[in-house]
Structures are given as structure tokens and as C-alpha cells.
Amino acid sequence: MAQTYRVTFKASDQDGMERSASVEIGQTILDAAHVAGVAIEATCGARGRCRSCRVKILSGEVPPATIQDTVQLGHDDVRDNLRLGCQTKLIDDCVVMAAPPKSESGHQILGANLDASEHGFSIASGVEKHLITATAPISEHNQTADWDEIFAVLPDNIEPKLSLDVMRKIPTALREKGGEMTVTIFGDRVIDLEPGNTTEKKYGMAFDIGTTSIVGSLLDLDSGECLVNVGGVNPQAVYGGDLMSRIAYAQFDAKKLATLRVRVINALNDFVKEACSECDVSSDHIYKIMVVGNTCMHHVLLGIDVSYVGLAPYAPTVNDAIVIGASELPLKAASNAQICLLPIVAGFVGADTMACVLATRIYESDELRALVDIGTNGEVIMGKKGRLMACSAPAGPALEGAQIRHGMRGAIGAVEKIQIDDDLACEIIGDTSAIGICGSGLIDACAKLVEVGVMERSGRFRRKNREELSEALQKRFVDTPDGTEYILVHTKDAGKDEPITLTQGDVRQIQLAKSAIFSGIAMLQKVMEISDNQLTELMMCGGFGNYINLASAVKIRLVPNLPIERITYSGNAALMGAQIALLSEEERLKASRLAREIEHVGLATHPDFQDIFVEGMSFLGGQDGPGQAVDGEHRRGRQEKVTVGD
């Protein structure tokens, strides 16, 4: 029998519950936390690249600190018995205290409110309700089945195949109201039977399952009206903040894949209940649910092994549009629904990108356009009617606040905008004390700090001639043994007992993330031989893209140096595209044709990608100190391997 060690988790507050778990030798404190049900995040996927899983060792023996411990936590914290839970293997029983969970609330979740007339499609969801009257069998000599009597009065195009769930409803539905019943049909199949007339109750839901968040909408399938938007943080995030971390967690491990799957299905069930409760709608009357998401989220939801999605050539297991009954998932909160998933374009260009294509109508454009869905995995579509090309730009979670020292999601207490004059001022979501900085604030901070000379174009904080800055800006520099930091919010103005700072490591993460997006756009321009001047419009999609300062996005080279008037917001286009496919079967079926016509460009294998990526690391404007020119940074940068998807 394998030797086990017991890990006890003390709560970080007096009212919290103490939990413990026994795990085998060789496992980590983070493994023990998952067994004990302690919600410790591992944003980087347990690779020792962030601080989210840090714990304090209260008693018991643990191995010496690893290099990752020291790099992420610093020498002082390591001496104070802090460790990364993902890197600390067990060699004895121990008692630990996890870092307190982020006190984030009021997340900025961007919904969508669709107007069918503006998008040029007719509402015809494929869900039909027929009020019929059938007579129960009465003759013993010429006996028929209940279903025969019902089938005889249905439209001619209906298939006689029934699910077991529908079969079980037949006896009651046929006899309760004297044979009057409502038959619900999707396509050519009966999906529900109920006594009486319920023809006016016909609803559907659209979901965008993102790596970071899940957003859904409840719609009336007849009018197309969006009744409510619901959403929140994807509960899988504790197992990794980006796609590759999530895949690495579940790779070649069916139990961990099941863990991820249960998390997302439970979330969908909860969101269905929440939406129905808010609108006083019975979930029994939800008949169609449209789901979009990237390839990883798509496969995890279906319980399909994601191991090979994370390995070259990053091919999906299935890429066609899918329709399954709710019981197959299972989605118990909407048991009568048909679950529909849009097709996957290729690799990491998933069903969410296909939804963006439907929403933006880029495939109908007579002029060259590009759409960029900015998230932990950014996708780019470029072209016009007759030819579209796509690529995946894995930005990672940094632009959403992960793997950043004081990073957080867009929630109350997050720095979201920066202003600099003689001193620096921050705008905080919720107009309260700052507890961290979100993606839009990070982009704004980098752009403004470069503009005033606090930061160089290379991304390095200014080390010489700081006296040229105002006194207030000079005082915000903090030079530590672990590198330079810059104070955005002083401790006295912060909502916690330390200042909100931007570290040199944070800037590096932002550069890697924004260069991935920039390189994806630039690569498609190169392949299609499209100059900036020829690009009529750059459409920014996604919840994150909706909140950023466009001028700052251009300044840090997140997007090409286009005139601001040619960069537009498209909101949550993935959710909007899901709503379109929910309301229109014609649009849903059209997506399958379009997905096969889009040409995919693999960035990692393209010979020019490395140079384009390194070029995208720098910022526009600003200045560079002696011996630190951007070209020098590029030469050094070319020695570093850039791995797409990592």
C-alpha cells in the first residue's frame, strides 16, 4: 500500500472551515487541496508560473523551496515559509494556510441583445409547436398503440422515432385533457408532449463558454426577444487560466477530464435555473440551447478527450455541427432541450469564432475587414466575401489579469483606466478602493507609462535620467532585489495593506500576450498581402475588447497602427452569433458551410512568425535609454523560443 501524508488546510479567517485530505507520497499540496475541496486557483495550470496557488506552511516538513518558488514569491516570502502549492511535494504530514481567495465581485460580464432585423435574417428556430387532438385507443379487436393515434394527426414530415423520455409522456398527455395536447417538434422529430395548449411558451438559450467566463441569454423563440442575460466566471478556472493549462490538467487523465466537465455542466444548469427564475419561465419550455466555445471548452463539455488537441498538429476530434438531446449531456435543468453546437473551423479556431463570423457578417463584406476575438485564446478572421482566412493567437490569461502580481478580472475594485499629468491617477471599477488591476487597466497603464517616459519602448522601466520626470512620478519607482516595480495606487489609497504595483515581470507577460494578438493579425495580413491602408475595418470582439481604450491598444501594439475610426467594437459577438443560430436554423446550417470554406493559417509553423512576434513585443512611441534600443531587444528576443499555445 502506498504511503500517504495528511495535509490540513487552516482557513484564512476565523469563520472558515478547516479541511484535510490524505494523498499519496509524491503528490503536491495543490493535489491535496483538490481532494479536500479547498478552492485554490492554479492559473498557470500548476506549472509554477504564477502566484495564485501560494500557501503558508504552518507546521510540518516540506522540501526546500524550488526555483519557481523563489522567482514567483521572492526571497522574503520564501523565508517566511510561503510556497507554491503546485510545486511543493509532500514528504510529511503538514498544516498549511492557503492565500485568501480574491475578493472579486460585480464582474463585468458582457451580454448581447440581438435585433434580427439589423442582422438580415428571419426568425425560424426550427422549433415548432402543434396543438392537436388525438383519441386514445378504444378497440380490443383492431388495437392500436397510443403513439399510433398521435402520429396519425401530426404533420406528414415528422419522423416516427421517439426518445425514451418522450415515450414516457405519451399515456398522460393523451388522456389528461381529453386528447388535446401540444406536440413540440425540432426539425423532423418530436421532442416533447404535454397535455393542453402551451403553444405560446417556446424559449431557447444561447451560451458562450469562454475560458475565463460563461455568458448566457434566455430568448423567446417566436419574437426573438432577449429576456435576460446571465453569466459569471468559468468554474474550471481553478485548474488553469488558459487553454493549454486546462488541457495539461486533463491530459491523458479521464478523471480530471470528468472534473472539468462536471464543473461546466453544473454551471450551465445553474445559469438555466437563474434565467428561468428571473423571467418566471418554466425550464420545461426551453427547447433549444445553442452553445459556442473554443475547441477545448467544446470538447470538455462533450466529455471528449482533449489530450491530442494540445499536441501538434492540434487537431480537434470532431469539427462538424452537433445536435444532441439534453439527457445525453446531461443537462438536467432543461431536460426537453436539444443542445446544438456550431462547427469548429480548425485547431484552436473554435465554434465561438464561427459565431463571431455569423454576428459580424464578415463573409458578406465587399471590402477587406478583420475581426479579432480577444481573450485567453485570441482568434483572428480576415478577408471579404469569397475568401476568409483564420488563425489562433494564444494570448494567455495575462490580459484578463492572471499571472499578474496584482492582476484581477474586471470586477469591483479593479483599476481599469489610467491618467498621467504631473502624477498618476487611476479610475476604479465601482468607484471604490483599488484591490488590483484588470486587463483594460494593464493596457492603459503600459500605454500611458511609455508615453510619459516612465517605461521604454522595449518594455523596461526607466533606469537612468529619472530626474527628467516629475517628482511625483519619480517617487512611484520601487527598485527591489527581484526587479523594478511601479506604484499605481499607494497603500493609503488601496483596499488592502499593500500598494497596487506593476512589476517588470507583469510587463513581460503583457508583452507576450499582446504580441500574440498583434502577430496573428500581422501574419494574416502578410499571407493575404493586405496592407494597413487596405484594411477597411478592424472589429474587436469579446467582453474584454469592449472595455479597452482603443488609443492605448494601438499604442502598445495590441492591434495594428490604424486610424481609430477604422477600429470598432462588436461587443460579445460570440454570444450574439449563438443567438442568431438559436433563432434561425438557416443561419445555423449556413455556419457549417462557412466553416469549411475558411482557410486556416498555422502560426507556429510559418517561417516569418518568429520575427513578427518579436517585432510585436515593443511599444509605439516613448523613448529608450542608452544601450537599450528596441533593436537590441529584438536581437536578444530572437534567441528566445516562442511556443504558440504555451
Mean pLDDT of the chain: 88
Indicate the range of 179-188, 471-480, 613-622 predicted with least confidence: 613-622
Name the CATH topology of 126-195: Ubiquitin-like (UB roll) (3.10.20)
User: Which pLDDT score is estimated for 13?
Assistant: 57
Superfamily of domain 4-98: Beta-grasp domain (3.10.20.30)
Q: What is the pLDDT of residues 514-539, one digit of tens each?
A: 999 999 999 999 999 999 999 999 99
176: pLDDT strictly greater than 60: yes
User: Which pLDDT score is estimated for 101?
Assistant: 57
Q: CB burial class (10 A; 0-12, 13-18, 19+) of residue 411?
A: buried
Q: What is the pLDDT of residues 141-162, one digit of tens each?
A: 778 899 999 999 998 888 888 9
Boundaries of every domain in the chain: 4-98, 126-195, 205-351
User: Which pLDDT score is estimated for 636?
Assistant: 32
- Residues 6 or more apart in contact with residue 359 via CB below 8 angstroms: 119, 541, 570, 573, 574, 576, 577, 580
Report the predicted TM-score, pTM, of the whole model to 2 decimal places: 0.84
If you ran DSSP here, which 8-state letter would residue 51 be given?
Answer: S
179: pLDDT strictly greater than 90: yes
**Are domains 126-195 and 205-351 of this chain identical in fold?**
no
**Average pLDDT of 485-494?**
95
Residue 217, C-alpha cell as written in the block: 441569454
For 194, the enclosing helix (H) or strand (E) is: strand 189-195
CA distance 134 to 146: 9
Cβ atoms of 130 and 155 within 8 Å: the answer is yes
572: pLDDT strictly greater than 80: yes
Give the 3-state secondary structure of residue 217: strand
Cβ atoms of 287 and 326 within 8 Å: the answer is no
pLDDT band at 14 (very low <50, low <70, confident <90, very high): very low
User: Which pLDDT score is estimated for 117?
Assistant: 62
CA distance 32 to 28: 6
Cβ atoms of 538 and 560 within 8 Å: the answer is yes
Residue with the larger pLDDT of the pair 301 and 155: 301
Q: What is the pLDDT of residues 361-398, one digit of tens each?
A: 999 999 999 999 887 788 999 999 999 999 998 787 78
Cβ atoms of 384 and 366 within 8 Å: the answer is yes
Residue 409: closest CA among 110, 206, 644:
110
CA distance 176 to 192: 15
Residue 40: closest CA among 54, 20, 58, 21:
54
Cβ atoms of 483 and 581 within 8 Å: the answer is no
**Average pLDDT of 93-111?**
68
CA distance 8 to 3: 17
For 378, the enclosing helix (H) or strand (E) is: strand 378-384
506: pLDDT strictly greater than 80: yes
Pick the CATH number of 205-351 from 3.10.20.310, 3.40.50.720, 3.40.50.2300, 3.30.420.480: 3.30.420.480
CA distance 548 to 559: 12
Q: What is the pLDDT of residues 39-83, one digit of tens each?
A: 888 877 788 878 889 999 999 999 999 998 888 888 888 888 999
Residue 234, C-alpha cell as written in the block: 468559468
Alpha helices in 207-350 (DSSP H): 243-250, 254-279, 295-302
- Residues 6 or more apart in contact with residue 473 via CB below 8 angstroms: 420, 422, 423, 424, 452, 454
User: Which pLDDT score is estimated for 297?
Assistant: 95
Q: What is the pLDDT of residues 125-136, one digit of tens each?
A: 999 999 999 999
User: Which pLDDT score is estimated for 71?
Assistant: 83
User: Which pLDDT score is estimated for 160?
Assistant: 84
Q: What is the pLDDT of residues 312-329, one digit of tens each?
A: 888 999 999 999 999 999
User: Which pLDDT score is estimated for 339?
Assistant: 98
CA distance 638 to 640: 5
CA distance 72 to 132: 67
**Average pLDDT of 466-471?**
95
User: Which pLDDT score is estimated for 441?
Assistant: 94
User: Which pLDDT score is estimated for 631?
Assistant: 36
Q: What is the pLDDT of residues 545-562, one digit of tens each?
A: 667 889 999 999 999 999
User: Which pLDDT score is estimated for 530?
Assistant: 95
User: Which pLDDT score is estimated for 643?
Assistant: 35
Percent of the chain with pLDDT over 70: 91
**Average pLDDT of 185-197?**
94
Residue with the larger pLDDT of the pair 637 and 352: 352
User: Which pLDDT score is estimated for 544?
Assistant: 65
